[in-house]
A = this chain, B = another copy of it.
């Protein structure tokens, strides 16, 4: 159906179109690429490719541009990820190594990705569920209010105010803290639910209601919240006059955590790249290249970039993969 040359033609069309932003015609193709056939032959091939839906013509007398389906084929079978140069790798490493907190790591990652790809970068915070509790702190804020602070082994600090059902004496708060730390220290939050069940017995009855409130915040609120935290940057790269009309949609999507999460896609194994093209993202003319990242081979969250459908996929994929790896490594160290 699609012989070797037709694939080469498609590849050439994608590459040319990506670099020039202009529909590419048969003549230009034979000139710029080493195809040893005439323009007419290419035209026949292009007619076939168009019939199959890989390329399209904006209007009758124009060259061809790839369709979403064309990009799909290009990404899946016609291109290979472009590895980062040694210099780039060093730069990535140096840039991330300077981070002093999880917030900082995430912030730097966003900047890095945006700079490297010249596109919008999106980074999800590492999940708390998979990380272990290092310390839990309770601080009285008032008679029926405590501040719950959770410190994990990835260096993350999470906080939440808990409204207590009953008045709590300072001693009972202190006691609760001791119990919590004794039981949860070193455990993963994902296992904590099981641990906590047996915990209630150890709390004196009058304090159980309060303890329950703290537990539920700890498990639901804190752990959940983080999974939904997504940060983005590099929006200045949207100003390139692409998109045009869709720009508003993109900006709106970026501000909706939920949409952003969906864009990053389902979890996958670390460093495995996901590429969603055009309509697949729900945003017209937009593609998303994403990867899972995490320490020690465990996927903890996702990160990626969002750009116009006509982006340089090999380079972008190379950058995303490299950054995902280095972030995972940094996270593993801290």
Residues of B within 8 A of A159 (CB): 101, 157
- Could you list 10 A-B pairs, sorted by A, with CB under 8 Å? A100-B160, A101-B161, A135-B137, A137-B137, A157-B159, A161-B334, A234-B255, A235-B235, A236-B251, A236-B254
Chain A residues with a Cβ under 8 A of chain B: 100-101, 134-135, 137, 139, 141, 147, 149, 151, 155, 157, 159-161, 233-236, 238-239, 247-248, 251-252, 254-255, 334
Report the separation of the CA atoms of residues A160 and B157 in the bound assembly, to the nearest whole angstrom. 9
Structural contact, B161 and A137, CB atoms closer than 8 A: no
Q: A101-B161, A155-B161, A236-B255 are in contact. Are A139 and B134 (CB under 8 A)?
A: yes
Contact of A157 among B147, B234, B235 (CB under 8 A): B147
Residues of B within 8 A of A234 (CB): 255
Chain B residues with Cβ below 8 Å from A251 are: 235-236, 238-239
Which residues on B sit within 8 Å (CB–CB) of A238? 251
Give A100's nearest chain B residue, CB to CB. B161
- Bound complex: CA of A252 vs CA of B149, how far in Å? 35
How far is it, in angstroms, between the C-alpha of A25 and the C-alpha of B81 when the chains are bound? 59
The docked-state distance in angstroms from the alpha carbon of A170 to that of B159 is 24
Q: Which residues of B contact A235 (CB under 8 A)?
A: 235, 251, 254-255
A135 to B, closest residue via Cβ: B139
CB distance from A209 to the nearest CB of B (A): 19
Distance, CA A254 to CA B251, complexed state (A)? 14
Residues in B neighbouring A100, C-beta threshold 8 A: 160-161
Complex contacts, A239 vs chain B, CB 8 Å: 247-248, 251
Contact A160 B101 (CB under 8 A): yes
Once the chains are docked, how many angstroms separate the CA of A114 from the CA of B248? 14
CA of A255 to CA of B252, assembled, Å: 17
> B141 touching A155 by the CB < 8 A rule?
yes
Q: A151, B160: Cβ atoms under 8 Å? A: no
Q: A137-B149, A157-B157, A235-B254 are in contact. List 4 more A-B contacts (CB 8 A).
A: A101-B161, A134-B141, A135-B139, A147-B151
A248 surroundings in chain B (CB, below 8 A): 236, 239
Contact of A233 among B101, B134, B151, B255 (CB under 8 A): B255
Cα separation A135 to B147 with both chains bound (whole Å): 10
User: In the bound complex, how far is the Cα of B239 from the Cα of A239, in angstroms?
Assistant: 10
Closest to A252 in B: B236
